[in-house]
Chains A and B, each alone.
Chain A
């Protein structure tokens, strides 16, 4: 019977199918970080349980780390925030006690778990991957079955190497045609969420396919799958092709020689069969997608950079009206306002969505020889890992950002979730390459507009949102007063 990519990955990892519809799924790789693991390790200790398979696990601190070189220079013990220090130390201690391999804070390979994983080849096509972080969906870009899990599930995977799951439904999202210049994986993700909503993917595995998806690089595909969870889907998927294989060949933990050949043979089968049946389908024309900007407090509150904030009269029901009213009040916007009249006073380029080398190149290309607008008071560029940082510096990208008036930081999750000191002040408005524009996400009272790296860079220069293709090519526009 014809199978989808998700079906194939599911069946290759199915340990036990139970009569009640649940199943045990074997987990190949478990990524851990400091925020969602301590209670899981504590649970194991209390129950006197050991790890099922030590070598399946790989840990790295990222969510709660300082991104200031000055604060990190003296190592973990010298970090100024005492509560964060305890959490980071606890990860080190747990990894030592359970003999889990950890990339420590002072290692050049340290970075955001979803950047580090593929970079090290710790995530590979065909794997099942879990992590106590919802953006684990990122790794579906490799043709891996990857989902975010809660801490009880982290403990469950540590102890049993399995996850209790119910098979999801299949959702085919096809993006046909070609993308216009300046349109990225981020814009596809936002366009999809704008169409199906933040609950549209609930209960589904989303498979992205079509010529516009095939044209994306691995990093673009990671950005896209990263945001599957913002559509409510626990996982996003892209079939394996040459782009995938070229990306993973030579990665530190990738197989070599005969094992690579055997792996490649299997990986090449990791695509949906021609006549596979999907439970739901959506087709978008790639050439219709413009750069997108969120205007509200949910990723589904999004429109094209050429668009406007919706009007109350256009809302279908009372709940939607209330939601819009609340969002406008929180965001300090008025109905019908043009997106290009929105003026960020902060810019954040980073996060597991958009902190890889191509993201930094994309932003730097817009910023070369430019200065950020005086109205932009805070502009952070936070590379996704120490290796991304080193690569960017070898290309001189750091200098472009610094010359533009931006800060160049150490790797971590930073202002995506603002657990550390990188946060917005109440009322501050940010053009952000991260993934969530929820109330308070980037700091209590902070206002987030989600965009691609190029769009964030263009907004930084202009002082308001502008279509990236024009701002990259044309001289800096005078800021609107």
Chain B
């Protein structure tokens, strides 16, 4: 995983609540067995005027001029500003892969769905939950004339606004460490291999039926 320490980024809006992972990556793209290449299909139904299918040349497809992520002013954005319950629905990690591939490293919202949040953190994307009035303030700044840039410092858990104001945010301490160091969960867990083995032996002694070989 790519480490996340500090991000100086342009903010783009997704101004609606309950953005679901189906909207982020429509099902037809889940047929891919790859982990990469989903960026061009992020928000596919909203982003293009035609119906997307795997294998299309996305560069040749007609863009929806009314969809904010297509506006010239938001090109190169790495921070997505959105509303309540972002990432609800399906557990598809393709949604996080698409966000990362598109170039988003951070999402700011009043709240996130659990599974998306977990998937994002495992892919170097920082979900920041802020109070609703702070999110409103950011939307107001974003819709003002000037482009909105924020500086996010994960070490300090701070967001710096254009006027110099500093806001703090909280993030799970374990996930913060993993992000800061770009650590792989599996390697970390395998450091506890002995504890897992010991637990497993006790568990099997107590519940032997859970350890029957599956013979179907």
Contacts and interface: CB of A to CB of B under 8 A. Distances in A.
A109 B214 CA distance: 14
A202 B216 contact: no
A164 B185 contact: yes
Interface stretch (B5-13, B62-70, B73-81, B114-122): B114-122
A134 B216 contact: no
Given A55-B211, A199-B84, A253-B212, A150 B23 contact: no
Contact of A152 (B32, B93, B177): B93
Given A234-B114, A322-B16, A439-B22, A152 B123 contact: yes
A419 B214 contact: no
A150 B93 contact: yes
Interface string B80-94: 000111001111110
A156 B183 CA distance: 13
B214 A134 contact: no
A419 B189 contact: no
Nearest to A107: B216
B199 A84 contact: no
Nearest to B175: A22
Interface in A408-464: 417-419, 426, 436, 438-441, 444
A22 B174 contact: yes
A263 interface: yes
Interface stretch (B140-148, B149-157, B159-167, B190-198): B190-198
Contacts of A21: 172-174
A133 B90 CA distance: 7
Nearest to B185: A156
Given A42-B35, A156-B189, A202 B111 contact: yes
Contacts of B199: 15-16, 26
A444 B51 contact: yes
Nearest to B1: A152
Nearest to A440: B45
B88 A101 contact: no
B185 A152 contact: yes
Nearest to A435: B89
Given A126-B207, A232-B113, A440 B200 contact: no
B16 to A, nearest CB: 7
A36 B94 CA distance: 9
Contacts, number: 208
A463 B100 CA distance: 44
A38 interface: yes
A23 to B, nearest CB: 10
Interface residues of B, number: 63
B138 interface: no
A232 B114 contact: yes
A63 interface: yes
B34 interface: yes
B30 A319 contact: no
Interface string A8-35: 0000010110101110101011000001
A47 interface: yes
Nearest to A259: B209
B173 A20 contact: yes
Interface string B89-119: 1111100100000000000000101110011
Contacts of A101: 214-216
B84 A440 contact: no
A154 B174 CA distance: 19
A94 to B, nearest CB: 10
Interface string A23-59: 0101011000001101100110001010011010010
Of A26, A43, A53, A134, chain B has the most CB atoms within 10 Å of the CB of: A134
B65 to A, nearest CB: 18
B105 to A, nearest CB: 17
Contacts of A259: 208-209
A149 B207 contact: no
B216 A198 contact: no
B60 interface: no
B131 interface: no
Contacts of A153: 118, 122
A63 B94 CA distance: 15
B86 to A, nearest CB: 10
A120 B186 contact: no
A103 B216 CA distance: 8
A64 B28 CA distance: 9
Interface in A55-93: 55, 58, 63-64, 83-84, 86-87, 90
Given A161-B200, A419-B30, A127 B91 contact: no
Given A18-B174, A199-B18, 13 more contacts: A15-B195, A16-B195, A35-B92, A87-B32, A134-B115, A156-B185, A159-B186, A162-B189, A232-B85, A255-B209, A323-B17, A417-B22, A438-B20
19 contacts: A15-B195, A16-B199, A42-B33, A52-B196, A87-B32, A120-B216, A122-B214, A133-B91, A153-B122, A156-B189, A160-B196, A202-B114, A229-B89, A253-B216, A263-B207, A319-B17, A418-B27, A436-B22, A441-B27
6 nearest A-B pairs in the assembled complex, by CB-CB distance:
A255-B209, A38-B33, A150-B93, A150-B119, A199-B85, A152-B122
